[in-house]
Amino acid sequence: PDTVVSFADYPNIITIIARSLTWQKNRLIISVRNYPNKILAEERLRLLKKWLMKITYHKAQKILSVSERIKDSLESDFKIPSQKINTIYNFL
């Protein structure tokens, strides 16, 4: 495929790793739909998951967040450049 879009934390991590292992040049877009720090606080393996997110999310060409708060968290907690992140709000 020309573009792969992934949703949810673990599928995002797995998709990024799989793309890296296959040498594909397709565009990879991931969507972050939950506030990362809240989700990580509830995880049993939170340190491992946070580390995996930090090393893999940078490899996505674009990251979609559903709020400015999530975007801010990705920038500050995961050091992702703001130009990689676009916010598309959920419809109310």
CA–CA gap between residue 35 and residue 90 (Å, rounded): 14
Do residues 68 and 87 touch, judged by C-beta distance below 8 A? yes
pLDDT tens string 51-71:
999 999 999 999 999 999 999
pTM of the predicted structure, to 2 decimals? 0.86
Per-residue pLDDT tens for 4-25? 999 998 999 999 999 888 877 8
Closest CA to 8 of 29, 36, 27, 31: 31
